[in-house]
């Protein structure tokens, strides 16, 4: 991948170049001349296009020998003024195009100058990476090829790569869910081709989750923001992930097979029609077998996606995005043995199971988009989408457990050592949870470019229907007594029911303007907008203003400064407004709170980039300091991936931190980065200030790829994460009553790939196998190279004296995987 400067950042010949005395003198003369009011002015305007008469944006237009210049807009138009002289030379420059000069003899008044520019012809081997494209907004662009061939327990997902970016955290390698700057997993919006997509709601562990909603083999572009994003992205408080699926230009395909499953992607383009289809199948039973709960794992995850585009002409086109996902998870547990504690207080927990679990998550999604582009500067999109999820979680699992001092298990302690046995008992967990959610959406959006302004606007309508039938209970006894015990009745330690049907409507409207300004001080980029939202369930009307400013100084254009602020809301989805209420008999009944309010976050973000060269290679150091004031929070607790909300706006809080990232090509042709984050959160819960459940105080991540110099067919990849543990509480409790932190999450995944058929160079003619295949790779992955036992959650054992013991549920251990990847 080759990174270059965007042409909007090119600067004029004489401005701010202080290397010699003559340049200073020339600048002084130009400034003096510009302030002489008596000199007549010449106005020059026109359009710049390529040889196919397509408008060119970001072309630098300047007057030779002066500091006067501007950039073309989206429609290729420009306008500038200059002092009247005998001869003016107008210079047009744009990366990828030959420089063009036009002389105007005795210009006066208002003159039109329209030109066409020729592209440069470069051999690929002559191109050298000199710099990175500047980021002037809060949406950062991520190379879609970065995760290709990387070692990843989820199968090469986009989300797994995101967790190595500063400010993004995940402590479960089996899940594609992530937390951004102290937010929950539900605070991240995901868009594919401009359509917001949803994840299953009842998933409570990484074993159940299956495949990511994003097919990585179909991705064409990735945009990601960790905060301060624009008004076109919906009502979520933490982040926005914008995915665009590619449109094939000819027949293409890719095939991937591994011990955990496989995928096949086929694309084709002919005339006005292009299509891209992707099928994925995952069966990670071998990975799950490394968990401490032994038994029969039977996961089957299937996903089909398609992206089809038909272009009627240059102005009209229609596209369809479709997805069918069926995830089945079956598990029949047999036994489990966990050793935990410290060297001076080691414990052993052993369980024999009976029963099983059967879960099914079905998702059906479709979106039809009609695009009309009357001109280069204006486009409109009419979008209709439908989403349906049908989820079922059913389990009946009973077990007999022993909790002992290490080395003195209850069933194998012939000496009956005093103090060896800490607890013995039985439990039975039952669930029959059914959830159906349908979302129908209709939206109209548009973009209009006027000179240096780029307007965007849109209106959306969503109709949501939700059906929930939930029944969960847990029976637990210790030493022959059911818990909680009153000496007379048999009671459940936990019993929950929910039976609801709800239908709601949401509406939103937004308008934004992006404005670019070149000045003698440097380049400015402004983006401001406002978003209006309404939800008829709680009759709430929201106003969300947002602003982003970027500055690139002319004196040192290796620096970029950014500032963003805005008022963001988290409109409740279904889980947030479910309120648990006790009925006085130890039972919990879920009610729907129609007085719930959207959570609120006020963002302040100050950041910047510094580009430099080291070892002959380009690098970029990025940093952002942020503060989020949080109001009207809905308290929640996390158990593995399950988020349990209070269903009431009870608290307020804050999140603050610092994110740093060093990005570069440590070796030519491969992208790598190192990120480091510091964060502090606080929440006023029942009068006690406690950290939020996603409070990871520090995080270090490494994403590294390398080619072996003497063996160019060998490629090495490394993904490492070291992050703080999360605050943890006992079940059905809250942090104000007490909490502790889980151990730090530490994981290192490595991969080694060998090219059986290397990709062709740009100018090489295909021959032999290359007539049919682009590349063939075979690879070996080692997941959790250091074989570290990371904790996902805790199982709590309660004895008859109501003393609770937290038994860690460990994640996957070291595993090996073999992959074959074929591109054709």
- Report whether pLDDT(4) > 70: no
pLDDT for 265 equals: 94
Contact (Cβ atoms closer than 8 angstroms) between residue 678 and residue 692:
no
Given a cut of 90, whether residue 792 has pLDDT beyond it is no
pLDDT tens digits, residue range 307-355? 999 999 989 999 999 999 999 999 899 898 888 877 777 888 899 989 9
- Number of Cβ within 10 Å of residue 429's Cβ equals 17
- Whether pTM exceeds 0.85: no
User: Hunting for tokens 């949501």 — which residue is that?
Assistant: 464
Lowest mean pLDDT among 104-113, 413-422, 476-485, 809-818: 413-422
**Strand ranges (DSSP E) for 479-539?**
481-483, 494-518, 522-535
pLDDT of residue 407: 56
Distance from chain centroid for Cα 132: 21
pLDDT of residue 161: 87
Strand 775-783 and strand 588-592: pairing?
unpaired
Q: Which residues contact 733 (CB under 8 A, 6 or more apart)?
A: 637
Residue 129, pLDDT score:
45
Q: Is 736 helix (H, G, I), strand (E, B) or coil?
A: helix
DSSP structural state of residue 228? -
Secondary structure element (H or E) that encloses residue 21, with its range: helix 21-34
Judged by average pLDDT, the poorest of 132-141, 458-467, 622-631, 780-789 is 132-141
For 519-558, list the strands marked E by DSSP.
522-535, 540-553
Q: Is 106 left (phi over 0), alpha (psi -120 to 50) or beta?
A: left
Confidence (pLDDT) at 805: 81
Instruction: Calculate mean pLDDT across residues 371-398.
Output: 93
CA distance 426 to 480: 9
List the beta bridge partners of residue 515.
Answer: 453, 526
Note the pLDDT tens digit of each residue in 468-491: 999 999 887 766 666 666 666 667
Least confident of 32-41, 209-218, 240-249: 32-41
Q: Tell me the backbone φ, ψ of residue 60, rounded to 5 degrees.
A: -85, 125
d(CA 795, CA 336): 12
- pLDDT bin (cut points 50, 70, 90) of residue 11 is very low
Q: Are 642 and 201 in contact (CB under 8 A)?
A: no
Is the pLDDT at 822 greater than 80, yes or no?
Answer: yes
What pLDDT, on a 0 to 100 scale, did the predictor assign at position 20?
A: 36
- The rounded distance, in Å, linking the Cα atoms of 325 and 305 is 8
DSSP 61-130: EEETTSS-EEE--TTSEEEEEEE--SEEEEEEE-TTB--EEEEEES--SEEE--EEEPBPP--GGG----
What is the number of residues in the chain? Answer: 824
User: Please, what is the average pLDDT of the chain?
Assistant: 84
pLDDT higher at 225 or 6: 225
Q: Is the pLDDT of residue 184 over 70?
A: yes
Task: Dihedral sign for Cα 119, 123, 127, 133, please.
Answer: positive
Instruction: Give the tokens for residue 743.
Output: 């151990």
Encode pLDDT of 192-203 as tens digits. 999 999 888 888
Query: Predicted confidence band at 70 (pLDDT cuts at 50, 70, 90)?
Result: confident
Give CA–CA dist 86/104, Å, rounded: 8
Radius of gyration, alpha carbons of the chain: 30
pLDDT (0 to 100) of residue 392:
94
Distance from C-alpha of 233 to C-alpha of 245, rounded to nearest angstrom: 18
Q: Considering only residues 616 and 682, tell me which one the structure prediction assigns the higher pLDDT.
A: 682
What is the Cα 187 distance to its own chain's centre?
Answer: 11
């Amino acid at each position: 991948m080759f990174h270059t400067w965007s042409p909007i950042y090119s600067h004029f010949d004489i401005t701010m170049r202080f290397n010699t005395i003559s340049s200073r003198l020339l600048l002084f003369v130009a400034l003096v001349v510009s302030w002489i009011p008596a000199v007549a002015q010449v106005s020059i305007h026109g359009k710049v296009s390529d040889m196919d008469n397509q408008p060119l944006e970001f072309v630098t237009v300047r007057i030779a020998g002066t500091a006067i210049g501007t950039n073309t807009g989206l429609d290729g138009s420009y306008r500038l003024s200059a002092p009247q002289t005998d001869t003016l030379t107008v210079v047009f420059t744009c990366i990828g195009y030959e420089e063009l000069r036009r002389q105007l003899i005795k210009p006066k008044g208002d003159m039109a100058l329209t030109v066409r520019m020729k592209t440069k012809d470069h051999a690929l081997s002559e191109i050298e990476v000199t710099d990175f494209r500047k980021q002037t907004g809060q949406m950062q662009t991520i190379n879609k090829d970065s995760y290709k061939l990387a070692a990843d327990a989820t199968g090469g997902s986009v989300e797994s790569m995101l967790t190595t970016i500063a400010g993004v955290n995940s402590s479960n390698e089996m899940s594609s869910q992530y937390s951004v700057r102290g937010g929950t997993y539900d605070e991240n919006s995901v868009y594919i081709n401009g359509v917001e997509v949803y994840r299953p709601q009842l998933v409570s562990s990484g074993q159940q989750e299956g495949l990511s909603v994003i097919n990585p083999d179909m991705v064409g572009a990735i945009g990601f923001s960790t905060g301060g994003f624009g008004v076109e992205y919906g009502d979520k408080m933490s982040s926005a992930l914008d995915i665009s699926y590619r449109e094939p230009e000819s027949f293409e395909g890719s095939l991937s097979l591994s011990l955990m499953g496989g995928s096949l992607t086929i694309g084709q383009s002919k005339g006005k029609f292009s299509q891209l289809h992707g099928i994925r199948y995952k069966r990670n039973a071998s990975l799950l077998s490394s968990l401490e709960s032994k038994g029969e794992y039977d996961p089957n995850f299937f996903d089909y996606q398609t992206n089809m585009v038909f272009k009627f002409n240059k102005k009209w086109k229609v596209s369809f995005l479709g997805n069918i996902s069926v995830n089945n998870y079956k598990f029949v547990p047999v036994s489990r043995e966990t050793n935990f504690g410290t060297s001076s207080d080691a414990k052993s927990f052993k369980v024999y199971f009976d029963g099983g679990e059967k879960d099914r998550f079905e998702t059906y999604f479709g979106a039809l988009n009609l695009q009309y582009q009357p001109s280069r500067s204006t486009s409109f999109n009419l979008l209709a989408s439908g989403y349906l999820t049908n989820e079922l979680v059913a389990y009946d699992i009973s077990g007999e457990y022993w909790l002992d001092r290490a080395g003195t298990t209850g069933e194998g302690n012939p000496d009956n050592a005093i103090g060896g046995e800490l607890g013995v008992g039985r439990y039975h967990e039952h669930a029959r949870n059914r959830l159906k959610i349908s979302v129908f959406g209709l939206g109209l959006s548009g973009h209009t470019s006027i000179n240096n302004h780029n307007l965007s606007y849109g209106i959306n309508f969503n109709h949501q229907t939700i059906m929930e039938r939930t029944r969960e209970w847990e029976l637990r006894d210790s030493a022959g007594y059911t818990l909680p015990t009153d000496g007379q009745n048999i009671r459940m330690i936990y019993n929950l029911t929910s039976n609801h049907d709800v239908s709601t409507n949401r509406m939103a409207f937004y308008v934004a303007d992006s404005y670019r300004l070149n000045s003698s001080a440097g380049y400015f980029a402004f983006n401001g907008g406002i978003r209006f939202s309404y939800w008829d369930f709680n009759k709430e009307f929201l106003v969300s203003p947002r602003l982003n400013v970027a500055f690139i100084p002319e004196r040192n254009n290796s620096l970029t400064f950014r500032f963003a602020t805005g008022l963001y809301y988290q409109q409740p989805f279904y889980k947030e407004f479910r309120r648990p209420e006790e009925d006085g008999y130890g039972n919990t009944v879920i009610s729907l709170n129609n007085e719930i309010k959207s959570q609120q976050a006020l963002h302040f973000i100050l950041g910047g980039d510094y580009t430099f060269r080291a070892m002959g290679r380009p690098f970029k150091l990025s940093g952002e300091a942020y503060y989020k004031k949080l109001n009207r929070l809905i308290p929640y607790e996390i158990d593995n991936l399950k988020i349990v909300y209070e269903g009431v706006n009870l608290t307020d809080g804050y999140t603050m931190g610092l994110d740093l990232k060093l990005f570069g090509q440590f070796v030519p042709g491969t992208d790598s980065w190192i990120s480091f984050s510091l964060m502090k959160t606080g929440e006023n819960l029942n009068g006690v200030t406690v950290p939020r459940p996603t409070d990871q105080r520090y995080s270090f991540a490494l994403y590294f790829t390398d080619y072996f110099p003497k063996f160019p067919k060998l490629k090495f990849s490394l993904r490492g994460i070291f992050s703080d543990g999360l605050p943890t509480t006992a079940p059905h409790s809250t942090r104000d009553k007490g909490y502790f932190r889980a151990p730090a999450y530490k994981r290192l995944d490595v991969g080694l790939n060998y090219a059986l058929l290397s990709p062709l160079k740009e100018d090489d003619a295909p021959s032999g196998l290359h007539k049919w295949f682009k590349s063939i790779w075979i690879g070996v992955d080692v997941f959790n190279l250091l074989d570290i036992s990371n904790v996902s959650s805790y199982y709590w054992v309660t004895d008859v004296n109501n003393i609770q013991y937290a038994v860690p549920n460990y994640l996957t251990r070291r595993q090996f995987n073999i992959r074959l990847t074929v591109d054709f």
